[in-house]
């Protein structure tokens, strides 16, 4: 399925998205995860595939008045729903492809790809673009709060646009990031969650 098919799919479910999970429970999981990732209070964090803004909201709870969130999604409808929920001057919203971000090089301290990695058609190109916008020694996290098996089960039973979007083993994701110039520091591929964390190497 091409990118336009995915955009149409996510546009079509944007209004229903927040009904797929318990918002309070999800918010707690995200805030706890952000703390474990070590997000600093004054960082500029890029939320790639921000959807309806659930991770963005949790990041805002973590960040100080000097912190910033740049929230990006390729679905205009997802962004519209997110903007309807969140009015905060610390957030900048963009409708964009993760391979071509409208951001300056070395403008972010950290990138979080939460529940989005399987939907990227060219993960190497995405990783290289994320490396471009990260400052030297910046951090990248590919993160799911459920296990890989559950992620793939959900996609297999979803619409045609995402049925083939498979979350690969953490080691395979790590290899993509290494090829794009990252040093992988953490891999978790468990029933309860998935995480690949990496640092952009200082050129």
pLDDT digits (tens, 9 = 90+) for 33-68: 999 999 999 999 999 999 999 999 999 999 999 999
| Residues contacting residue 128 through CB under 8 Å, at least 6 positions apart | 180, 181
What's the confidence (pLDDT) of residue 1? 37
Domain positions in the chain are 3-14+24-200
Strand bridging mode 182-190 / 91-95: unpaired
d(CA 36, CA 79): 27
Closest-CA residue to 158 (of 11, 2, 13)? 13
pLDDT digits (tens, 9 = 90+) for 140-150: 999 999 999 99
Closest-CA residue to 30 (of 195, 166, 182)? 195
The pTM (predicted TM-score) of the whole model is: 0.95
CATH topology of domain 3-14+24-200: Rossmann fold (3.40.50)
- Rounded (10°) CA dihedral 27, 31, 32, 33: 100
What's the confidence (pLDDT) of residue 159? 82
pLDDT digits (tens, 9 = 90+) for 78-117: 999 999 999 999 999 999 999 999 999 999 999 999 999 9
Answer whether 13's CB lies under 8 Å from 81's CB: no
pLDDT digits (tens, 9 = 90+) for 10-38: 999 999 988 888 889 999 999 999 999 99
């Amino acid at each position: 399925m091409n990118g336009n098919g995915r955009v149409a799919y996510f546009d079509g479910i944007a209004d229903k998205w927040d009904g797929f999970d318990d918002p309070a429970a999800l918010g707690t999981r995200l805030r706890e995860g952000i703390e474990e990732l070590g997000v600093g209070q004054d960082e500029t964090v890029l939320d790639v595939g921000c959807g309806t803004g659930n991770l963005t909201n949790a990041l805002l709870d973590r960040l100080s008045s000097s912190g910033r969130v740049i929230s990006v999604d390729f679905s205009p409808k997802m962004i519209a729903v997110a903007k309807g929920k969140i009015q905060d001057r610390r957030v900048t919203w963009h409708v964009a492809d993760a391979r071509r971000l409208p951001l300056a090089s070395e403008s972010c301290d950290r990138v979080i790809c939460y529940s989005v990695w399987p939907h990227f058609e060219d993960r190497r190109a995405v990783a290289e673009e994320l490396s471009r916008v990260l400052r030297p020694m910046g951090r990248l996290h590919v993160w799911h709060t459920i296990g890989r098996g559950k992620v793939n089960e959900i996609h297999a039973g979803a619409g045609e646009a995402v049925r083939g979007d498979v979350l690969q083993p953490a080691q395979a994701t790590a290899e993509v990031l290494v090829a794009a110039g990252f040093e992988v520091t953490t891999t978790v591929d468990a029933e309860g969650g998935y995480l690949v964390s990496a640092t952009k190497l200082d050129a």
